[in-house]
Amino acid sequence: MIYIILYLTAIVLANLSVAQFGPGVAIVNAFLFIGLDLTARDQLHEAWRGDKLLPKMVALIAAGSLLSWLLNQNAGPIALASFTAFAAAATVDALVYQQLGKYPRWLRINGSNVPSAAVDSIIFPTLAFGSFLWTIVLGQFLAKTLGGFVWSLLFRWLDKRTAVAAQP
> Is 165 a residue whose pLDDT tops 90?
no
Q: Phi and psi (nearest 5°) for 102? A: -85, -5
d(CA 31, CA 150): 9
Task: Name the 3-class secondary structure at 154.
Answer: helix
d(CA 130, CA 149): 29
Predicted pLDDT of residue 2:
85
Q: What is the pTM of this model?
A: 0.83
Q: What is the pLDDT of residues 89-100, one digit of tens each?
A: 989 998 898 899
